[in-house]
Amino acid sequence: MKNINEIFNKINSPHELLEFMSKNINYGYLGKSGRVYHFDDSDFNEKWFNEYILESKENILKTLYGNCWDQVELERYWFKKHGYEIKTIYEMVKLNYDNNYPSHSFLIFKDKDGFWNWFENSDYENRGIHKFDSINKLLEYQYSKYLDFLKTFNIKEDEIKEIIFAEFEEPQKNISASEYLDFVINSTLININSKDK
């Protein structure tokens, strides 16, 4: 069997990247101790905030596990290497770091025809490459999906105004969950209703 790095290095298109990731990269995270936490581990949620570290490309290709934060960085590496215009976006309910609402990082890229595409692997229900006429339409769609998802967690009306989207640059690798959150929250906030996108 071919080395996973060799396979990754031969990927030539976003569709090939999605196929590679969907077959090889599982949802989980690398802990500070070196343990890989699998989604079905009984202590997966309990340990993540204190144990999590942001994986490097090398680590994610070695462990074959990563959460959305990690997977976006693997995607960033590939898309930048192949000359695509990209943006990486973080969405969360900005209440405090240990609230029960899920957050999500995702990557968008501009294709050769000038369309913006949401590239998604880690969110299994939305896995795929989703094409939009503009960044604004893409982000409005993503906001709507995120809000619908948060409603399944019974988000309160007054908390909805605390939903933020932020565009962030490449973070340092091996940082903790709190360091990652500080980094993305202090990045460029996006006004979803802005027509400037």
pLDDT in tens, the chain (197 residues): 469 999 999 999 999 999 999 999 999 999 999 999 998 999 998 998 999 999 999 999 999 999 999 999 999 999 999 999 999 999 999 987 667 899 999 999 999 999 999 999 999 999 999 999 999 999 999 999 999 999 999 999 999 999 999 999 999 999 999 999 999 999 999 988 543 43
196 assigned to some structural domain: no
- For CA atoms 94, 97, 101, 105, give the dihedral sign: positive
Domain extent at residue 161: 4-189
Does the reported pTM lie above 0.85?
Answer: yes
Count of helix runs (H) and strand runs (E) in the chain: 8, 8
194 assigned to some structural domain: no
Q: Cα angle at 52 between 49 and 56, to 5 degrees?
A: 150
**How far is 117 from 175, CA to CA, in rounded Å?**
28
The number of folded domains in the chain is 1
For residue 139, what are the CA distances in angstroms to 1, 31, 89, 171? 40, 31, 9, 22
**CATH classification at residue 48:** 3.10.620
